Structure 1
Amino acid sequence: MTEPDRGYHDIRHGATAYSAVVGTFGAIAVPAIILVFTTPVPHVANAPTLATFATALLVAGMFGSLLGAVALAYLGAERDPIAGLAPAIVYAAVPVVVSLSCIVGAFEVLAALFQPSVKTLFSMVVAAGSLFGVVYTCFAVVHSVKLGPTGETRGAWLEAQQIREHAGAVKAAWLLGGVTITPVLLAMALRLAGAHLRPTPSIITLDVLIALALIATGPLLAILRTVPSRTPEEQRGLRLHEMYTADFAISGFTLLLLFTLP
């Protein structure tokens, strides 16, 4: 299964290490929330609404980091390199990247309150985080062909998969990244052109509800994809609709968030 000339990345070990990083990142939202609650809001237009927006994004980001860290730790505890690990990692990336976008987006809202001149900088960081999330899932696609049964039945099992060999996985990863970064690039262009909505309570509610839905669904799907099969041959590898759904969820949320940040 391991090919020394190409190298081999163990997704399980990576998930374990990433879980600590994700959990630590989510912890930074706590002092930021305290800051919002204890710092007097400046006398600017729409200030109470912006303060509410920042708080809601920080809480959503903290929640997303927690669930993302739990999902990654769960995947890291898997004993065998089963085929379901690749789609599970792709799904687990959704709450991680959404929480990152929420937390950095909250700082953009705070910048609109206290330092309006740096709003654009923070909005571009939100976009950069989303781009990283898309690239991250592409690596999972490349490594997906290393997973699955290792016995004599592996050849027949691979024939039943949508991604069967390394060259095909690399091609699928490039296509996935090229297609799903489009909403992020559109969001960046709109933001730099000054095209965005004025945050209102309804818009804030919409943003947070969508964020929470993605945050809750991603870990659940990740765990369900690692449910043991009755036999090794019944394992299901990464499917095209799974990787596109996860990446479009990330980039689509980024488009929405950047279009509705102040």
Structure 2
Amino acid sequence: MPEHDAAKHGAPKHGALASPVPPPGAAADWTIPQRWEEFTAEDHWVWDTLFARQQSLLQGRAVAEFAQGLDVLSLSRPGIPHFDELNEKLNKRTGWTVVAVPGLVPDDVFFKHLSERRFPAGNFIRAANQLDYLEEPDAFHDVFGHVPLLAQPEVADFMQALGHLGLEALDKGALHRLARLYWYTVEFGLVREGGEMRIYGAGILSSFGESHYSLESAKPHRVDFDLKRVLRTSYRTDTFQQSYFVIDRFQDALDLVTRNDLTALYAELDRLPDLSPCTNDESDLMAA
């Protein structure tokens, strides 16, 4: 995941285009060998426990394509997926591969990987006493949350488009705008399916608590996706979301980034104040 300011899920940070030096043992693109054989029995138990719990919980809550995409995680070995085996299945479907990284990576590195259909996954997993919370995205969030939908062509294309847009936003000093689009779609997006709200954002899919909260709590706003509003709406990384933006189908998200001039939108929105995620009243939006 890209760098972020200490939170339970990854989000692009307002950073410079230049990367710091990769840590020891990492390649220039920050990738490292997975070394699957070095994961412990407890590591694999944590994965299996989280997987079984979320798979059961998400029935009737996640978008149907997520359950279909879980097939890419149905591998011959128990526990944390071996990336060689995982990539053989995923690459055949959409041309994506998962690459191991030591943890959070710089924004330009992250978006460069996405633009080339590679998804960076943290090469570690939370401890057994951290099943419900961790500050830094781990292999369960990155792989279980993101990879099943990367097996869907529309999502695969959308993620690659975000990679290119992320690099452009960095160059134009507009990463905070693109970060909001990433956050409210890839991480915390909802979609309508058969007249019902369903989850597709990885930050929700990999979270036991937010899988309930996002669909069932009366506290958050659930509003139709509006690109300008999303680009203006800030977010918090340390709590459940105050607003969720709802699309009608995955193709809509891809169309939003291919049919709109985001650079022009960035310039237009720079003249307007940001919106709080708790804003929902129409008069508040008009005044803003």
- The two structures have a TM-score, normalised by structure 1, of 0.28
Which structure has the highest strand share of the two?
Answer: 2
Which structure has the highest helix share of the two?
Answer: 1
Structure with bigger RCO (C-alpha 8 Å, 6+ apart): 1
Of structures 1 and 2, the larger Rg is shown by 1
- The two structures have a TM-score, normalised by structure 2, of 0.26
